[in-house]
A and B are shown apart, each in its own frame.
Chain A
Amino acid sequence: MRWMWIDRVVELVPREKLVAIKHVSLAEEHLHDHFPARGSRPAMPIMPACLIVEGMAQSSGILVGHAEDFREKVVLAKVSKAELDREAVPGDTLRYTATIQQMTDLGASTRGMVELISPTAAGPAQPVQIGQIDLMFSHLDQNMGGASFPEHNFVFSEGFHTLLRTSGVEMPA
């Protein structure tokens, strides 16, 4: 479960849309290195943008994988666009909404909206859009030009299964 960058899938409309959330916590080790105090500058724990891209890739990838009952090895092939205009800090919740734009046997393109939910004394604030991350996924076995990969689907590993189960998403038998 070490490389899961979403905490829960909160909505799944098959072949259409997936919404997932990620809580940013000061207990996460990488926040202590991104960025540590240096000289007179105090520490600045900020969720790394590359891991926000990874979170969106996992959200979108599950949506694309789910469309074919996780039979395809869905790999991130291209970051078409990644724009983030606000930082996420400990205590914030990131909300990823992934939608499928186009999909064929070979792969899929997705659009992703990143929202930030900051806590306030009165409870969580309304989500605010802070960016967009559009991606392309390849169905690996369909794009190997004759080469082949093991039958076992190494993309959707145990971590994904656990996440989907704890999110109440039904997995294919």
Chain B
Amino acid sequence: MDRNEVFEKVRDVLVDALAVDEDEVTPEATITGDLGAESIDILDISFKLEQEFDFKIGQGELFPEGVMQDPEYVQEGKVTDKGIATLRENLPHFNFDKLEEDRRVEAVGQIFTVEALVNFCEHKLQTA
């Protein structure tokens, strides 16, 4: 499956799960910001990706749990170096440039883009 096909499938999943228009699903669009996903939508997206691509997504694999609540990783509302390192380790296919610039917890959604999701699926397909 080439990258374009993966993108199209991811786009269909997002259109279905979030009731957004196809043209809103650009590679740069953020899942929680631009596309308005809430926490339950992440579970919905995860279920739909599993069905679409026929792979399994482990708990916390799409987005690590508890990191944002851990005082070691977040201090005074900002993600610490250790926090970023942990996120990088868990999410090797995400681009952290924006989070490096803006460490606010509210900015974490910036790294969770459509492109990151496509990268994640591509990697899963390659390693499946």
Contacts and interface: CB of A to CB of B under 8 A. Distances in A.
B8 to A, nearest CB: 21
B43 A80 contact: no
Interface of B, helix, strand, loop or mixed by DSSP: helix
The winner among B39, B40, B41 for most chain A CB atoms within 10 A is: B40
B43 A107 contact: yes
Which secondary structure dominates where chain A touches chain B? strand
B40 A109 contact: no
- Chain B contact patch, size range: 10 to 19
Given A104-B59, A105-B59, A106-B59, A143 B47 contact: no
A77 interface: yes
Given A105-B59, A106-B59, A145 B44 contact: no
Interface in A98-156: 101-102, 104-107, 109, 136, 138, 143, 145-146
Given A102-B50, A146-B69, A78 B44 contact: yes
Interface of A: 77-78, 80, 101-102, 104-107, 109, 136, 138, 143, 145-146
Interface of B: 17, 39-41, 43-44, 47, 50-51, 59, 66, 68-69
The list of the 8 closest CB pairs from A to B, nearest first, reads A77-B40, A102-B47, A146-B69, A78-B40, A109-B47, A107-B43, A136-B44, A106-B43
